């Protein structure tokens, strides 16, 4: 069984959003098309409480891009984004959400961030996605969405670690590129760790 994992295709990661990724909206038609080829589709949703520790605004004198220690883990500070129930946290309206079998919220614990759809950044708690896929006898996962250099990367790397054959649909992803070259480096790291990089357009 194969599954499609749609990572954080949410308004805040698209142009005009709080943590906009360049061309983030362009992954939406790819996702809609890819869904036709899968019997099992899951989505992750960045879903933070307003007082989340990853928001620069929640740390006096800090600005987005700075790195702090958040309960023992290095944490990049972000603008306020994907606050639970907000429009920014909603899936992009053009995304065909009817086809999504299950949604896995992440980043709900204010004390720790969660880039991966499987675990928080400290690998302390699982979201349930891994067990869900194993219950459904999934052996292959296809990952795409936002953002290549954060949530997509960590989701794909955890998928490998959990033993899934893991494919990255490269042109179904867009990245933050906080530093120039971050996306290229992320893709290289995924490849090195066993992720098979494929393309939607040939």
Q: Which residues are annotated as catalytic?
A: 8, 106, 151
Which one of Zn ion, ligand VGL, none interacts with residue 120, CB within 5 to 8 A by kind?
none
Which one of Zn ion, ligand VGL, none interacts with residue 151, CB within 5 to 8 A by kind?
ligand VGL
The span of 28-36, 87-95, 147-155, 180-188 binding ligand VGL (CB under 6 A) equals 147-155
The span of 61-69, 106-114, 120-128, 166-174 binding Zn ion (CB under 5 A) equals 106-114
Go through the chain and tell me how many residues it has: 202
* Residue 150 found at the interface with ligand VGL (CB under 6 A): yes
Q: What is the DSSP string of the chain?
A: -EEEEEE--BGGGSTTSTTPPTTGGGHHHHHHHHHTT-S-EEEEEE-B-TT-TTBGGGSTT--TT-EEEETTEEEE-B-S--BTTSTTTSBPTTS-GGG--EEEEE--STTS---SSSB-TTS-SB-SHHHHHHHTT--EEEEEEE-IIIIIHHHHHHHHHTT-EEEEEEEEEE---SSTTHHHHHHHHHHHTTPEEE-S--
Q: Which residue is nearest to Zn ion (CB)?
A: 46
- The residue within the footprint of ligand VGL, chosen from 138, 147, 186, 187 (CB under 6 A), is 147
Taking the least distance from each CB to ligand VGL, the nearer of 107 and 130 is: 107
Which one of Zn ion, ligand VGL, none interacts with residue 92, CB within 5 to 8 A by kind?
none
Among the listed residues 57, 60, 61, 65, the one whose alpha carbon sits nearest the alpha carbon of residue 83: 57
* Residue 104 found at the interface with ligand VGL (CB under 6 A): no
The span of 132-140, 145-153, 160-168, 188-196 binding ligand VGL (CB under 6 A) equals 145-153
91: which strand partners? Answer: 10
* Residue 119 found at the interface with ligand VGL (CB under 6 A): no
Are 25 and 92 a contacting pair, CB within 8 Å? yes
- The residue within the footprint of Zn ion, chosen from 12, 25, 46, 120 (CB under 5 A), is 46
Taking the least distance from each CB to ligand VGL, the nearer of 40 and 153 is: 153
Binding site for Zn ion (CB under 5 A): 46, 107
Which chain residues interact with ligand VGL by CB under 6 A?
8, 13, 46, 78, 146-147, 150-151
């Amino acid at each position: 069984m194969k599954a499609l994992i749609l990572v954080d295709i949410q308004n805040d990661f698209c142009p005009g959003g709080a943590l906009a990724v360049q061309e983030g909206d362009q992954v939406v038609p790819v996702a809609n098309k890819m869904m036709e080829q899968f019997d099992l589709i899951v989505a992750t949703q960045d879903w933070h409480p307003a007082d989340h520790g990853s928001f620069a605004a929640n740390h006096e004198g800090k600005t987005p891009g700075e790195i702090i220690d958040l309960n023992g883990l290095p944490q990049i500070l972000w603008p306020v984004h994907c606050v639970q129930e907000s429009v920014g946290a909603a899936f992009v309206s053009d995304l065909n959400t009817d086809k999504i079998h299950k949604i896995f919220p992440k980043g709900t614990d204010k004390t720790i961030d969660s880039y991966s759809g499987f675990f928080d950044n400290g690998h302390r708690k699982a979201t349930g996605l891994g067990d869900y896929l194993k219950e459904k006898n999934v052996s292959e996962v296809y990952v795409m969405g936002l953002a290549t250099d954060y949530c997509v990367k960590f989701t794909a790397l955890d998928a490998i670690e959990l033993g899934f054959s893991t494919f990255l649909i490269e042109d179904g992803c867009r990245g933050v590129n906080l530093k120039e070259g971050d996306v290229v480096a992320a893709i290289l790291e995924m490849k090195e760790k066993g992720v098979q990089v494929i393309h939607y357009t040939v």
